[in-house]
Structure 1
Amino acid sequence: MSAKDQPVYTLLVEAGRKPGDGLPEGATGAALLCYAGGVDEAEAVRETVAILKQAGLSVLDVEGHGTPEERRAQGHEIDEEEAGLMARAAEENAVIVAQVTPFFDEDAPD
């Protein structure tokens, strides 16, 4: 199976802080929405974690949300932009970080 034929998985990654991670000042971590291909979801998770660690992020947890077909079967809508990012992940055999949402401690003093 070539990389282009592998399914693409939607992964939600939780990252903590680490010096030089590129997250905004004051952030306590972040959630990253990623798309990655693999022969199975476990491989997609391993590849994503390896890439994010190389980028200097501290990966705490990864939650898999399945392939586009699995997500549609669960009632998820996948818009044109998201489908395009998934196609790019497959075409380039890459991990695509589609969204980064920093976390901030609500109780921290200003």
Structure 2
Amino acid sequence: MAQQVYTLLVQVGRADEDGLPEDATGAALVCYASGVDEAEAVRETVSILKQAGLSPIEVTGHGSLDERLAEGHDIPEEERELMDRALEENAVIVAQMEPLFGDEEDEDDA
């Protein structure tokens, strides 16, 4: 089966020497990962992030490029270039990393 690139949203918690801001509670990462299926892409992404000193908590798959296009997603050229790179290099590309601060869900409930 041919490799495809999957878009993954990964939430990470804190870990020693993770490089996140001191007051962050974790981070949200957008990753592009190659795999024969989404499960393989998730496994590879979690493994790579752990090797990088991060602590993955939750991974949400958003599908392959073809699946996203079929759902009507508008995918900018920069995003497509990162996906192509992930496929060519059989790699996990972290496209965006946004630190998270505080317990934002509880603030909405107050």
| TM norm structure 1 | 0.91
Find the counterpart in structure 2 of residue 59 from structure 1.
56
Find the residue that maps to 2:33 and give its secondary structure. strand
Q: Partner residue of 1:89?
A: 86
Aligned residues: 104
- Structure 2 gaps of 5+ residues are 105-110
1:31 to 2:28 alignment: yes
Instruction: Please list, as runs of the form range in 1=range in 2, the aligned pairs for 1:1-110 lying within 5 A after superposition.
Output: 5-105=2-102
Instruction: State, as a whole percentage, how many aligned pairs show the same letter.
Output: 69
C-alpha separation between the residues in 2 aligned to 1:106 and 1:37? Answer: 32
Once the two structures are superposed, residues 55-92 of structure 1 have per-residue CA deviations (whole angstroms, 9 ceiling, x without a partner) of 00010000000011101111111110000000000011
In the alignment, the residues of structure 1 paired with residue 28 and residue 95 of structure 2 have an alpha-carbon distance, to the nearest angstrom, of 11
| Alignment RMSD | 1.3
Shift of the 49–106 alpha-carbon distance from structure 1 to 2, 3 Å rule, reads closer
What are the ranges of 5 or more consecutive residues in structure 1 without an aligned counterpart? none
